[in-house]
Structure 1
Amino acid sequence: MRRLNLTPRADWQAKAEQVGFVWHSAGATYWDESAAYVFSLAEIEDDLEPAAAELHQMCLALVDDAVGDEALMSRLAIPGENWDFVAESWRRREPSLYGRFDFAYGAGGKPRLYEYNADTPTSAFEAATFQWLWLEDMLASGALPPGTDQFNTLFDDLRDRFAQIFPDGGFMQFASDAEAVEDRQTVRFFEDLASQAGLETAFVAMRDIGLNAEGQFVDGDGFVLKAAFKLYPWEDMLRERYAPNLRGAAVRWLEPPWKAVLSNKAILPLLWKRHEGHPNLLPAFFEDDPAAASLGGRYVRKPLFSREGANIEVHGAGLSEPVVDEGYGAEGWIRQAYEPPPQFDGRYPVVGAWIVGDKPAGIGVREDASPVTKNNARFIPHIISTE
């Protein structure tokens, strides 16, 4: 794995906006094609792809354990009144669309799991579509040698997964914050995929979803939700005023409720306890576990729930950058061994490995100026070297 400096396309901003990628520079540079990360085929086929596939299966086994164990459900900060709702979703094997593992990777080592974005992972559009369009342009212009490839079947796999989940088509509503440009455009991307898979779609703002007199979820026009994609995390939904109605409403959610087990950092110590020494895991413990002392004074403190690096604290590594405090941590904390990403030209890349259904489907790379990947990190395209 290496970082290759490149010349950006002169018209890349116009091309981004033409396909709906309007948050490419929102507030700061987000999409950055002045460089690309170069992987060998062996790094993809022998390291990243099998790591994602194996960790996915380990996570599914953890869900199977957790839904039958009240102590684990409590550790996972799932409200007790929703345990049956989550467990029933798993026992029915309600299908999952996608997820993203975030890895430290480089310097000849194995991918090491930082966290699993199992419920509302973002950057799917830029990983699936815009970095592929970038590759096609770079090949057409001769800026990259013929045969240069990407690990990227994400677009086709997501479309096909919608068709697998809904083989008879039907109608599906797509929900997010209507005012957040990135969220809204990301949901448009998924709407388009679902349409290509034969579904009829409509958008509903999360704030406009309500309950009718029968306790069913309805959109702003009063139409009952039967199937819905939501870019809104389960940890919040399970704490909303409408949470008591979730179990009886018969909505087919993407992601399904059992993803509440996997969409928080409590899985990191739980996975480590079950698979201690696994080459793709970092040692991790709940903060109140005496075994956490084995990490010494050099570790990363993470709240069970957070987004974009918020409230993540690096201890004992001499970093001076302040913690981004967004109020996370009320549900608890874990400690994970400190293993920073490799550094290239003063940037720290984290590799996001996508799972669609049960299949590894590609990668996207985000890099930050610090070891903690935050909301101002840049998305950098990647290639597989032909050398």
Structure 2
Amino acid sequence: MEKISVEERPNWRQKVESEGFAFHTIDGERYWDERGYYLFTEKQITRDIEAPTLELHAMCMDLVDRVVGSEELLTRLAIPPAFFDLVNTSWVEGHPHLYGRFDLIYDGKGPAKAIELNGDTPTSALEAASVQLLWLEDQIQRGVLPARATQFNTIAEDMVRAFAAFPKGGPFYFSTISGSVEDRGTTDFMRKMAAHAGIDVRHIDIEDIGLTSGGRFVDLEGRWIERLFKLHAWEHIFHEEFGVAVPGCDTQFVEPAWKSILSNKGMLALLWEYNKGHPNLLPAYVDPDPHKPLPNGWVRKPYFSREGANIELRTPDGERVVEDGPYTDAPYILQEFSPLPKFGDNFTIIGSWVIGDVSSGIGIREDDTMITKDTSRFLPHVVLD
């Protein structure tokens, strides 16, 4: 695994914007950064990324099966009791799921270590599936990369296949909170993939979803929302006014309610408890007292943190890095510190995608600190022997 410097395409902004990637720059700083790429061998991808991702996914499915029927475990994951039956039923009835993303620490040598899973509302799908692949095609066409260069990236086609496998039904609505350029870009991309699968697709802002007196969710014209992809986390829905109506409604949600088990960091403690010593996991435990000073060699994370917010880490030699944020109203875990590989001045993390039940590709983020945030840069990758 290497980082290779390369000249950016002279018209890269127009190129990426034509793909709906309007958030390539955040607060005047690059989010998409094609001045370099990460180089992998085929063996590194198949042995060290793809195979562990499938194994981690299988462990997560086993974990869901253990948790859904246990009030004690659901409580440990801070899922409200009013939604226990919803979570259990969605699993027992086999409500279909679409995607998830493991965040892996990998330096090209030792085994990849999973530090997180976003199993409910992962973003960066557009840039991972489409933008970096078009970059690769352009660079091959321009002669910058050889024709045999590839990527570990079947995310788009696997997503189309996953949508095509969903039970047949009426229009499929895609929703996000209004005003977020990033979230809208993500859902527009996914809506396009569903359309390629022959599905009637529509957009609706979450704020525009209505609820009838009979408990049915409807759009602005009063039409039944039979199927809804929501880029809105279950832990929020559980505590919102309209969330009370979800257990009794007749809308199919994607992701399904059982994904709430895999969308909070408490599951990392359970994964370790049931798979202690696994080479792709780090020791993790529920933090009994998150107000105590963090010991050296550990990371403290809230259950529902997003994009690095409210994370604190101490290296084995005592260096402390902390990110502020709003996620302070839930339990925390302690996870053993594992250093992110550093390339030049940049700390790097790999997002490994699972679409349906298939390991489908990777996206790479880098930052000048050891905590990956929403502003951390996204770089393309190349697989080449």
Does structure 2 conserve the Cα–Cα contact (< 8 Å) formed by 1:354 and 1:363? Answer: yes
> What amino acid sits opposite 1:190 in the alignment?
M
User: CA–CA distance in 2 between the matches of 1:153 and 1:258?
Assistant: 25
Residue 343 of structure 1 corresponds to 342
Cα offsets for 1:162-205 (capped at 9, x unmatched): 00114x46311110012111111111111111111111111111
Residue 123 of structure 2 corresponds to 122
User: CA–CA distance in 1 between the matches of 2:169 and 2:146?
Assistant: 41
Q: How many residues align?
A: 382
Cα offsets for 1:346-385 (capped at 9, x unmatched): 1011100000111100000011111110111000000102
Does structure 1 conserve the Cα–Cα contact (< 8 Å) formed by 2:171 and 2:225? Answer: no
> What amino acid sits opposite 1:140 in the alignment?
Q
User: CA–CA distance in 2 between the matches of 1:169 and 1:156?
Assistant: 21
Residue 135 of structure 2 corresponds to 134
Does structure 2 conserve the Cα–Cα contact (< 8 Å) formed by 1:284 and 1:337? Answer: yes
Deviates more, 1:96-105 or 1:296-305: 296-305
Cα offsets for 1:38-83 (capped at 9, x unmatched): 1111111111001110110100111111011111100111001100
For the residue of structure 2 that corresponds to 1:302, the secondary structure is: strand
> What amino acid sits opposite 1:85 in the alignment?
L
For residue 93 of structure 1, report the CA deviation from its aligned partner: 1.2
Does structure 2 conserve the Cα–Cα contact (< 8 Å) formed by 1:175 and 1:229? Answer: yes
Cα offsets for 1:284-322 (capped at 9, x unmatched): 1111199x99x953200000001110000012454455x
Residue 82 of structure 2 corresponds to 81
> What amino acid sits opposite 2:52 in the alignment?
A
Residue segments in structure 2 that go unaligned for 5+ positions in a row:
none
TM-score (norm 2): 0.96
Distance of aligned partners of 1:308 and 1:108 in 2 relative to their CA distance in 1, 3 Å threshold? same
User: CA–CA distance in 1 between the matches of 2:268 and 2:151?
Assistant: 29
Does structure 2 conserve the Cα–Cα contact (< 8 Å) formed by 1:2 and 1:37? Answer: yes
> What amino acid sits opposite 1:284 in the alignment?
A
Residue 11 of structure 2 corresponds to 11
User: CA–CA distance in 1 between the matches of 2:19 and 2:327?
Assistant: 34
User: CA–CA distance in 1 between the matches of 2:18 and 2:36?
Assistant: 22
User: CA–CA distance in 1 between the matches of 2:295 and 2:31?
Assistant: 36
TM-score (norm 1): 0.96
Does structure 1 conserve the Cα–Cα contact (< 8 Å) formed by 2:64 and 2:261? Answer: yes
Residue 106 of structure 1 corresponds to 107
User: CA–CA distance in 2 between the matches of 1:6 and 1:144?
Assistant: 10
For the residue of structure 2 that corresponds to 1:94, the secondary structure is: coil
Cα offsets for 1:142-168 (capped at 9, x unmatched): 1012201100000100011100114x4
User: CA–CA distance in 2 between the matches of 1:339 and 1:26?
Assistant: 28
Residue 198 of structure 1 corresponds to 198
Deviates more, 1:218-227 or 1:357-366: 218-227
> What amino acid sits opposite 1:351 in the alignment?
I
For residue 329 of structure 1, report the CA deviation from its aligned partner: 2.7
Does structure 2 conserve the Cα–Cα contact (< 8 Å) formed by 1:169 and 1:200? Answer: no
Residue segments in structure 1 that go unaligned for 5+ positions in a row:
none
For residue 26 of structure 1, report the CA deviation from its aligned partner: 2.5
Divergent runs of 4+, >6 A: none
